[in-house]
Amino acid sequence: MDIDTILLDTEERMEKALAALERDFQKLRTGRATTALVDGIKADYYGTPTPISQMASVAVPDSRTITIQPWDKGGISVVEKAILKSDLGLTPVNDGRIIRINIPPLTEERRKELVKVARKYTEDAKVAVRNVRRDANDSLKKLEKEKAITEDEQKKAEAEVQKLTDKFVADADKRSQAKEKEIMDI
C-alpha cells in the first residue's frame, strides 16, 4: 500500500460516514411530509419483513400528508400495523384502499428532542471520521516503520489526512446546522 492509496481510501471512508449521517437525517421527522419517513419501516409481509416502499406506492400529495397504496389489498392492514409499531408517532388512517398519514405540526418540545437526536447523529459521524483518521495514521506509521516511506513523507501524509478530517468534520457540522434549522422552522 502506498500513500495515495491510503489517502483515497481515507477520503472514501469519510464520505461514507457523511452519507450515513445524511441517511440518519432523512429519518428525522421535520414536520414536513416526505417519503423518507416511511422508508425505514418494514411490514411483516407473508412472514418476511419487507420495506413498505417495496410493497406499496408511497406518495406525498401535500406537505402534511403521506399516502400509501399497497399493491396487494391484503397487505393494507400489515402496513398499517407496521406504521403504528414504528417509533415515528404517526397515526395512519385506513380507508380500505389507501392509508393516509397526516403529519401533525411538531411541538416545541418535540423539536428540541429532534435537534438533540440530530446532534447525536452528527457526533457519531464525527467519531466515525476521526476513527478513519486514526486508521489512516496507523497505516502511515506502519509504512514508515517498514521503511517504505520516509519520516518526512509520513508527516506530510498525516497532515493531508488531518486536512481531510477537518474538511469532513466541518461538513458534518454544516449539515447538522442546516438540519437543526429545518427542524426548528415552523
Beta pairing class for 48-51 and 56-62? unpaired
Domain boundary among 102, 128, 145: 102
Gap between the Cα atoms of 96 and 76, Å rounded = 7
Gap between the Cα atoms of 36 and 28, Å rounded = 9
Domain total of the chain: 2
Residue of 130, 131, 132, 137 whose CA lies nearest to 169:
130
Q: Do 112 and 46 have their domain in common?
A: no
Q: Do 60 and 119 have their domain in common?
A: no
The pTM score is: 0.72
Gap between the Cα atoms of 182 and 94, Å rounded = 29
Q: Please name the residue that has the C-alpha cell 486508521.
A: 135
Q: Do 138 and 178 have their domain in common?
A: yes
pLDDT tens per residue across span 41-98: 888 888 888 888 888 888 988 888 889 888 888 888 888 888 888 777 778 888 888 8
Residue of 28, 36, 33 whose CA lies nearest to 100:
33
Structural domain of residue 48, as residue ranges?
35-102
pLDDT of residue 186: 62
Q: Do 79 and 167 have their domain in common?
A: no
Backbone phi and psi for residue 158, each to the nearest 5 degrees, phi listed first: -65, -35
CATH of the domain at 47: 3.30.1360.40
Question: What percentage of the chain reaches a pLDDT higher than 70?
Answer: 98
What SS3 state is found at 60? strand
N- to C-terminal Cα distance for the chain?
A: 51
